[in-house]
Chain A
């Protein structure tokens, strides 16, 4: 039955159902709005579970592909046509597909969004707009992970910025507007760089011949571009065929790679491009940070895999050392700063920086272990940071503060929340049996093979992680009970459900990693084919 359905498109646009329904609800009816919005996030979740079930982990390449030509622009009139070629087109396709790397991220997106929707019930105003933005954001994120065309990727990448801007700017804390502006500007710069890189790629490597019709097509298809770059004789790489026309010289390749690195580095974030996300973490409502930290940051890493490693294997190789060093800086810098923060949200923000360093380390190792570790870390950190901010949201709602000095002794008044907080902390510091351990272990195993010294320095960061996590968790849960914590009510059912679900997944991935590594394996081998590790 499912074979004939465009299941990816259905999944991608399924949040629209919720948006449409919400449009017809009067905006004062908060209860109904919340009810509709929350239940509508379960539609994509169910569809993505169906997708997971149907997915063939041992299949090669993209699955469930869909390809529809969207725009077809003839360029011949304006461009000097090459000898023997009659027509010149730019093709823009609506082209979707998932492989073993993107499918887990798609599932993560639908799952975290549903959990975040549940935890958004504490939002105090303008529920209708909030949830419409929320669902729009989900479409954008899903599209990023499903797109198989550069332009499509870019469009979805941009779509995520707009709802995010409003979600921060309207429902955030005191400095929400500054945070939203900074977010938009910083990410706008990243997008601009990415756009330049994509344009270079499309115009130099994004073409294919149709010999019957004697036509040349430009497009942003991942496969076409990757194939053209990989094939040394194709004229993406050769000046003489085109007679000195625009081609992908080594210098241009390096430039494009660096552009992509910076563009996705801002998103990840790589030191020193991290300052914007500190503000987002502190100012945005916690349920939005769940999505931000849980999924949006992962788009940067996903981009590095998909465009950095896959399309520029040589550059990735020559930059591996730099990536490893950047990774270690991220880990240690983030960890030390997390250690001295006085505000839980900032501890977690720096912790995210530190954890994303592990992704860089994994990629820098250039072997399958490290890559698996990096990809594993995306999912693992997505779950852990979502859980963390779920708890932060509950603390903030109850106590009105997330300052470490004003919290303490929570284990007495909120035993269940405190227990889950402790589990989240343990997962964050990479305790065995949690997903964090698997990710760290694989990434360091891979890196050790390539740069043992850097790996040793990086493990120092792991020690620091234990210190800052325990410092924060112990301060909040144990010790003398602070006034802000007294007489509070432990988790309601609607709050415990996402906590339990997240903890269950974190443990599942920690105890039986094969559920994910099997899926990642083939996809990562394909992405690394130019490196051969």
Chain B
């Protein structure tokens, strides 16, 4: 092992020199990816992330938006050399990422807690980044990191906006809010910007980064393109639902909510500006970010099909959200009753937590109980048994040496008989 290193340059050199066989590269890449799956809340290790939003809002903004969960995507990006060697690993990344993107988006559609919706949205967007990584081109790699960048701005904006809302109404259930648009002007406008950016409406930052990913998918992984597009539709839909339910309609608060203080609104404004303009570091015609990340010239063509489709998906989602939650407020209830099975599954997040409970927690606890009995009965029992045997032998020995001639006589006679029998057996019966 001496001389082996773990720094990124050495890994890069080793991979470029072809020192890794495909099998090893696949194993390493997939194991690293599992770590990233845990960190970036990808399916099936995503359950912790929505739970972690129990923290105070600025902290969940930090966790969910920019820094912490991004570490998983960053890890894949940092060790991308290894992934590029292994086709299987890239496919896994793309598959898990794509699945997570649509999977989490569908859960977000029915959640009622404002922070939980945003948390599932984060899981979904991280899935986007992962599946960009899984496409396996440097352009897709740049697109994935680009989305990491823009997402940081608009998701932090949304979380802080949610914080501002919660601060005003002391409530996290969106259906107990409503009509906040009239009183909380800054929060509403900035939240709208965040919503549009996340939904991927041109020309906000989220549009450019999502478009860059989808364009790469369109070229290299057509199936994933459609998955991504569907997820984009769902994203726009649940954000529209969130926005219209919270900010439009009638107020349900007992006392009138008012706008948050400057210490909360100024960050919202700053982030809103960034959520609008951050996309311009990398779009067809400006390859600054891609070049900076990879050192290569990116040939970013304008793909009008993708641009139009993704905008249509976004606007369609928003439109549907407007239709269901602003115009026909009873319809969602009816739909939920009609598709009760589906609705329950989604509300319970596909029962993943319950599945873990049943598949891992319970069996482990049960196994622990069995081992506990094993430890008490078998292991300790063996110890007790050997002690018992010793004491038993001791007792027999004590009883034999009792100083009574009769006992000694009996033992002697028994001994003589045994010896006699043995001799007789050997001599005449050929036994022993």
Contacts and interface: CB of A to CB of B under 8 A. Distances in A.
A339 B375 CA distance: 14
B379 A337 contact: no
A340 B375 contact: no
A496 interface: no
Contact of A336 (B368, B379, B383, B387): B368
B375 to A, nearest CB: 6
B364 A336 contact: yes
A317 interface: no
Per DSSP, chain B at the interface is helix
Contact of A337 (B1, B368, B380): B368
Given A275-B375, A367-B1, A369-B1, A336 B380 contact: no
A339 B365 contact: yes
Contacts of A89: none
Contacts of A336: 364, 367-368, 371
Contacts of B379: 271-272, 274-275
Contact of B371 (A274, A333, A367, A369): A333
B373 to A, nearest CB: 10
Interface in B364-387: 364-365, 367-369, 371-372, 375, 379-380, 382-383, 387
A449 interface: yes
A340 B367 CA distance: 9
Interface string B102-128: 000000000000000000000000000
A366 to B, nearest CB: 13
Contacts, number: 32
A368 to B, nearest CB: 9
B171 to A, nearest CB: 24
Interface string A359-383: 0000000010100000000000000
Contacts of A271: 379
B47 to A, nearest CB: 15
Given A336-B364, A449-B1, A275 B380 contact: yes
Nearest to B368: A340
B271 to A, nearest CB: 32
Nearest to B386: A189
Contacts of B369: 340
A337 B383 contact: no
Contacts of A340: 365, 368-369, 371-372
Contacts of B364: 336, 339
B371 A337 contact: yes
B127 to A, nearest CB: 24
Nearest to A369: B1
A333 B379 CA distance: 12
Interface of A: 185-186, 271-272, 274-276, 333, 336-337, 339-340, 367, 369, 445, 449
Interface of B: 1, 364-365, 367-369, 371-372, 375, 379-380, 382-383, 387
Given A271-B379, A340-B365, A340-B369, 5 more contacts: A275-B380, A275-B383, A276-B383, A339-B368, A340-B372
26 contacts: A185-B387, A186-B383, A271-B379, A272-B379, A272-B382, A275-B379, A275-B380, A275-B383, A276-B383, A333-B371, A336-B364, A336-B367, A336-B368, A337-B371, A337-B372, A339-B365, A339-B368, A340-B365, A340-B368, A340-B369, A340-B371, A340-B372, A367-B1, A369-B1, A445-B1, A449-B1
What 7 A-B pairs come out closest when comparing CB atoms? A340-B368, A275-B380, A272-B379, A336-B368, A339-B368, A336-B371, A340-B372
